[in-house]
Every structure is written in structure tokens, then in C-alpha cells.
Amino acid sequence: MTKRFVVPSTESVSDMLSMLYGNDVDATEIPDKTIAGAFAASFVCDDGDLVAVCICDPAFVAYSGAALSMMPVGGAEDMLESGDFTKTSVDNFYEVINVCSRLLMSDSSAHLKLDKVYRPEDASAVIDEFSARATVGFKLKIPRYGVGKMIFSIV
């Protein structure tokens, strides 16, 4: 079994998130691979090595977390305006990213798992230490909520 992980496509990301939200999630690949104020998630393989990082803008965290628990869109917008993300919303974001770990694996890749989610004040530590083979970014429209960005960097 090889350790090489999958680089997600717009179709795979859209399909995966549509399963969570019950509607088609509109995904578009974006050229810019930087996000200000990003949350980050680290993925490790079975031996504990860091093998991928997912970086998301605050809008994706707010909208994906709120949509998962059907919080009113106004609650997500309030978090974006204040910068104060509820524990529930961040926990829901963790679950969304945990599901997205499947986007990085194939029948021939090693297993990986979500290790941690980092809030913006801690995210740069994991982002800056990671050296990627491939990086791909997406703009995602969460139905009835809003648009956010997600970037995957993979060894």
C-alpha cells in the first residue's frame, strides 16, 4: 500500500458535502491558496506523521457548522461579524472536516485520520510547518447559508 493520498476534486468535495447538507453544494476551484484568519485541521497517518492540512476561512467554519445543526443563518452571520465562534459551531466544523478526511483516501492509499482542529490564533503553527506535494482550494456555497473557502494541502 502506498502512502500517496488523493488530491480532492470539485466534484468529490461537492458530492461529499452534499451528503451532509442534503442539497447540492456548489464547489468551484480557486487559484488563490491563502486565507486570512484561517482555521486549520491536521490529518495524520497511522504512524502519527502529519500528511495533510485543511485550511478554511471563518465563513466556511460558521456556515458549515451552523448548517450541520440547523442553526439559523443569522447565528452564523453573528459569529462572522463578532469573530466569536461558539463551541457547538467549531465542534460541528470538526465533524464536517472529519467526514472530509475520506476525500483524501483511496483504496490504494494509506489510512489517515483527523488529528486536530486549530482556531485562527493557533492555525499558523501547523500551516507554516507543513510542506505539501499538492494544494487545491475551493469556494463552496453551503445551501441556505453562504459561501466559504477550503484548501487542502497534501504530502
Report yes or no: 96 and 68 within 8 Å, Cβ to Cβ. Answer: yes
Say if 32 falls within a structural domain.
Answer: yes
- The span from the CA of 54 to the CA of 60, in Å, is 12
pLDDT of residue 3: 63
pLDDT tens per residue, the chain (155 residues)?
446 899 999 999 999 999 999 877 999 999 988 898 999 999 999 999 999 999 999 999 999 999 999 999 999 999 999 999 999 999 999 999 999 999 999 988 889 999 999 999 999 989 888 888 899 999 999 999 999 999 999 98
Say if 4 falls within a structural domain.
Answer: no
Q: Helix, strand or coil for residue 47?
A: coil
pTM higher than 0.85 = yes
pLDDT of residue 128: 85
Domain hosting 36: range is 10-154
Report the amino acid identity of residue 131: S
Say if 14 falls within a structural domain.
Answer: yes
Say if 125 falls within a structural domain.
Answer: yes
φ/ψ of residue 117, rounded to 5? -115, 135
Instruction: Read off the CATH number of the domain in which 147 is found.
Output: 3.40.1550.10
Say if 5 falls within a structural domain.
Answer: no
- The span from the CA of 1 to the CA of 110, in Å, is 6
- The span from the CA of 82 to the CA of 124, in Å, is 21
Report yes or no: 6 and 103 within 8 Å, Cβ to Cβ. Answer: yes
Q: Per-residue b/e over 26-51, b at no fewer than 16 CB within 10 Å? A: bbeebeeeebeebbbbbbbbeeeebb
φ/ψ of residue 79, rounded to 5? -65, -40
- The span from the CA of 78 to the CA of 137, in Å, is 25
Q: How many domains would you assign to the chain?
A: 1
Say if 3 falls within a structural domain.
Answer: no
The 8-class DSSP code of residue 145 comes to: T
- The span from the CA of 19 to the CA of 153, in Å, is 23
